[in-house]
Structure 1
Amino acid sequence: MYYEINENTARAAHDMMSFRDYQPGSATAEYRAAVDRAAALVERCKASTSPYYHGKLDALLDRYARRLADWTNAYNRNGASCPSVMIAGASNFPVRKKQRQNAREESLWAEYKEIEGILEKIKSVGTGPVDLTDPHAREILTGDLEAAQKTLEYCKAGNAYFRKHKTLRGYGGLTDEQADSMTDPEEFGFRLYGKPYPDYELASLRGRIKRVQARLEELDKLQQMQAQPAADEQHDGFKVVRNAEQNRLQLIFDGKPDEQTRQLLKSNGFRWSPRNQAWQRQLTNNAEYALRSVIESITA
Structure 2
Amino acid sequence: MARRAKEMNSFSGYHEGTATAEYQRCVDQAVEIANRQKEKVDPIYHGKIDALVDTYARKLADNMNQRFEIDARVPSVMIAGPANFPTGKKEKQNIARGKNMEEWRQVQGLLDKIKGTGMGGISADHPHAVMQLEQKLKGLEQSQQTMKEVNAYYRKHKTLDGCPALSAVEIEKLKVSMAQPWHLEDKPFASYALSNNSAEIRRIRSRIAELKEYAEVGFQGWDFAGGKAVANQEMNRLQLFFEEKPPAQERQILRQNGFKWAPSVSAWQRQLNHQAISAAGRIDFIRPLSGEHPRDLQPKAKQSPGRDETVR
Report TM bin, short chain: 0.7 to 0.9
- Please state if 1:211 is matched with 2:203: yes
From 172, 177, 180, the counterpart of 2:175: 180
From 55, 74, 85, the counterpart of 1:93: 85
Per the normalisation by structure 1, the TM-score is 0.82
Q: Does the Cα contact within 8 Å between 2:125 and 2:271 map onto a contact in 1?
A: no
Quote the residue 1:272 is aligned against.
261
CA distance in 1, matches of 2:248, 2:191: 50
Quote the residue 1:34 is aligned against.
26
Report the Cα offset of residue 93 of structure 1: 0.8
3-state DSSP of counterpart to 1:188: coil
Quote the residue 1:3 is aligned against.
none
Q: Classify 1:34/1:276 alpha carbon distance in 2 versus 1 (closer, same or farther; 3 Å).
A: same
3-state DSSP of counterpart to 1:280: strand
Report the Cα offset of residue 288 of structure 1: 4.4
Per the normalisation by structure 2, the TM-score is 0.79
CA distance in 2, matches of 1:125, 1:167: 41
3-state DSSP of counterpart to 1:279: strand
Q: Classify 1:42/1:22 alpha carbon distance in 2 versus 1 (closer, same or farther; 3 Å).
A: same
Deviations along 1:14-48, one digit per CA (max 9) or x if unpaired, are 11111111121100000110011111112122222
Unpaired runs of at least 5, structure 1: 1-8
The code of the aligned residue for 1:98 comes to K
Report the Cα offset of residue 216 of structure 1: 2.7
3-state DSSP of counterpart to 1:24: coil
Q: Classify 1:63/1:92 alpha carbon distance in 2 versus 1 (closer, same or farther; 3 Å).
A: same
Q: CA RMSD in A?
A: 2.8
Q: Classify 1:197/1:258 alpha carbon distance in 2 versus 1 (closer, same or farther; 3 Å).
A: farther
3-state DSSP of counterpart to 1:16: helix
What pairs with 1:40-59 in structure 2 (closer than 5 Å)?
40-59=32-51
CA distance in 1, matches of 2:238, 2:214: 12
3-state DSSP of counterpart to 1:195: coil
Report the Cα offset of residue 165 of structure 1: 3.0
Unpaired runs of at least 5, structure 2: 285-307
Q: Does the Cα contact within 8 Å between 1:248 and 1:282 map onto a contact in 2?
A: yes
Quote the residue 1:127 is aligned against.
119
From 191, 196, 200, the counterpart of 2:192: 200
CA distance in 1, matches of 2:241, 2:225: 11
Q: Does the Cα contact within 8 Å between 1:13 and 1:76 map onto a contact in 2?
A: yes
Q: Does the Cα contact within 8 Å between 1:222 and 1:247 map onto a contact in 2?
A: no
Q: Classify 1:113/1:262 alpha carbon distance in 2 versus 1 (closer, same or farther; 3 Å).
A: farther
Q: Does the Cα contact within 8 Å between 2:281 and 2:310 map onto a contact in 1?
A: no
The code of the aligned residue for 1:230 comes to F
The code of the aligned residue for 1:178 comes to K
Deviations along 1:56-86, one digit per CA (max 9) or x if unpaired, are 2222211211111111111111111110111
Quote the residue 1:240 is aligned against.
229
Quote the residue 2:147 is aligned against.
155
3-state DSSP of counterpart to 1:187: coil
Q: Does the Cα contact within 8 Å between 2:240 and 2:269 map onto a contact in 1?
A: yes
Report the Cα offset of residue 133 of structure 1: 7.1
The code of the aligned residue for 2:220 comes to A
3-state DSSP of counterpart to 2:11: coil
Report the Cα offset of residue 167 of structure 1: 3.3
Q: Does the Cα contact within 8 Å between 1:130 and 1:141 map onto a contact in 2?
A: yes
Q: Classify 1:157/1:252 alpha carbon distance in 2 versus 1 (closer, same or farther; 3 Å).
A: same
Higher alpha-carbon deviation: 48-57 or 126-135: 126-135
CA distance in 2, matches of 1:164, 1:217: 38
Identity of aligned residues (%): 40
Q: Classify 1:286/1:232 alpha carbon distance in 2 versus 1 (closer, same or farther; 3 Å).
A: closer
The count of aligned residue pairs is: 286
